[in-house]
Chains A and B, each alone.
Chain A
Amino acid sequence: MTLSRSQKRGLVGASLLALVLILIGTIATYFGSKYQLRIVYGSYVSLMVVLALQVFMGNARITNLSHSAFMGIGAYAAAICVTPIAMKKISLPSAPWGLNAFALDPVTSGVIAIAITAIIALLIGLILVRLSGIGATIVSLAVLVIVHSLFLYRTDIFKGNQAFFGIPQVFTLTSAIIIAVIMVYVVRGFKESRWGIALRASADDEISAAAMGVNVHRLRLLAWVLSCVLLAVAGIAYSYYLGTISARPFYFNHVFLTLAMLILGGMRTVTGAVLGTFIISFGLEWVRWLETGPTILGQKFPEVLGLSGVVLGSVIVLIMALRPGGIMGDREIEDFILKNTE
């Protein structure tokens, strides 16, 4: 198999991003406090979500608002499979279908969680890919609400807003770094694949793409399912590290946070996804510190509750107004070091 020019450049770009991810992760592992490790881990999980989101939004250019729901499906499915029976007898005493009567190893549980997410994504995708623009976005919003309602009201399975606890904590920051690095290659590889290119063509001009033989619906479905599978992986990584999950983190605040990351960095590029995630992850930590009313140079500042929401919203408004393509626009990281003619 020979690689095209854009695939070779993609390989260079993905490797540069991988290097950055390994570097940040390694520094955190060796020098971070326990609290900081948790923050960095959280940013790597966010990165997985934003990369997954880029696969669909960046190539098909349809805004998706349901991604946190698919992350939640992956997280809960894995949690239900992997949590030891003794734990589930306590936390899910009235679970149906014998869900509290079995337990699987983490790998099998992860595979099952991915498969379940993929099947649900496929069924929803069959409806969603036929719509374009605002129609598809509204459907995705409805999916978010439906899934969240199920998480809340089937407390016998998901425990709703209470903690679903007892998930074996088998992941470390190293696991998250490895997964994020693999995802960078997968996501960039898809973008430069014949499917990614044809899908971007259809986003530029759907009619013209059809006239060139592009089956737009099938390619959108492919990107949608791939995106949801990667979201399931993010959900699994989240639950395998924290050991405790609940419905709240898979709802609107998380949708908005990760969307802001992708929009800030620039949704058309993988580099933008990485950049936006780290700027907002670490920027928000700093804002949260300001929220608590810190003392800076002997000057006591007042508590400003809700500042992080204001900042996040303002970032989206400003970037949309000033630079709708995000920080990166159409540029990937390798464009800064390779000549255009190479």
Chain B
Amino acid sequence: MLELKGVSKTFGGVKAVQNVSMTIAPGEVRGLIGPNGAGKSTLVNLISGLLRHSTGTISIHGEGVDKLSAHQRAHLGIARTFQNLRVFGSLTVQQNIDVAGYSGQASHRNGNDILREAIARFDLADKLHAPASSLAYGQLRRLEIVRALALRPRLLMLDEPAAGMNEQETDDLREALSWVRSQSDCAILVIDHDLKFIMALSERITVLNLGAVIANGSPKEVSENRQVIDAYLGEDYEHAA
């Protein structure tokens, strides 16, 4: 489905992403973890086309996207949310969803047309006609996800969807995302620092450090990996687990 081969990105002389190769299967939920500055968000930006990779290839369903701009990749079904919340403040919630929906409909992808129920599941139904700028923080986070779903994605990338949420909200989010997974064969790539959340949600986890992949495997394998413990999880996590 999504395939990265030797993808690198340098900013000036700094290697933000180094020789990353990974594949994500349809319907798979993949966690992406690593310390701050590991290159997780940069990788999402490279896949969505907001940044161009320096070397390597990215393809989705066997179709190379290296030369495509961000809006063209969105039409191919690469959807994402933003860590720093980028909704369209002057539009209503419904219009926010529509903007992505136009692209989703134009692609003629169906099979994951679950938008109406998604709006209810993510608790936005009574806010549809409100200006997006009037929403509370948690609602904005959920709108980001529903808006991305309106693209009828084949790959949905969530950049810290649980950031700033309390435990209850995180649990609700996990439940809603499990529902998304049960309704569609879209692959999901999740970045988050909440390890409990990410371990419960993901089938496989990829760990980045200093721009390179240092581990890849099931949540259990990754949490027992020596390199991962040293670079990211720390001794405390090892003892707790």
Contact = CB atoms under 8 A, between A and B. Distances in A.
B91 A200 contact: yes
Interface stretch (A12-20, A106-114, A206-214, A312-320): A206-214
Interface residues of A, number: 25
B74 A213 contact: yes
A194 interface: yes
B16 interface: no
Contacts of A204: 88-91
A207 B71 contact: no
A214 B82 contact: no
B98 A197 contact: yes
A194 B98 contact: yes
Given A204-B88, A207-B86, A208-B86, A340 B99 contact: no
A94 interface: no
B100 A213 contact: yes
Interface in B70-104: 70-71, 74-75, 79-80, 82, 86-92, 94-96, 98-100, 102-104
Given A207-B70, A209-B99, 12 more contacts: A6-B95, A194-B102, A197-B98, A198-B99, A200-B91, A205-B86, A210-B70, A212-B103, A213-B102, A213-B104, A214-B103, A268-B90
A212 B74 contact: yes
B183 interface: no
Contact of A210 (B69, B90, B104, B131): B69
> How many B residues are at the interface, by size bracket?
20 to 34
Contacts of B95: 6, 197, 201
Given A197-B98, A201-B96, A201-B99, A211 B88 contact: no
A340 B71 CA distance: 32
Contact of A200 (B71, B90, B94, B104): B90
Most buried by B among A194, A198, A211, A214: A211
Nearest to B100: A212
Contact of A213 (B71, B88, B94): B71
19 contacts: A4-B98, A197-B95, A198-B102, A201-B95, A201-B96, A204-B88, A204-B90, A204-B91, A207-B50, A208-B88, A209-B99, A211-B74, A211-B79, A211-B80, A212-B147, A213-B102, A215-B71, A340-B129, A340-B130
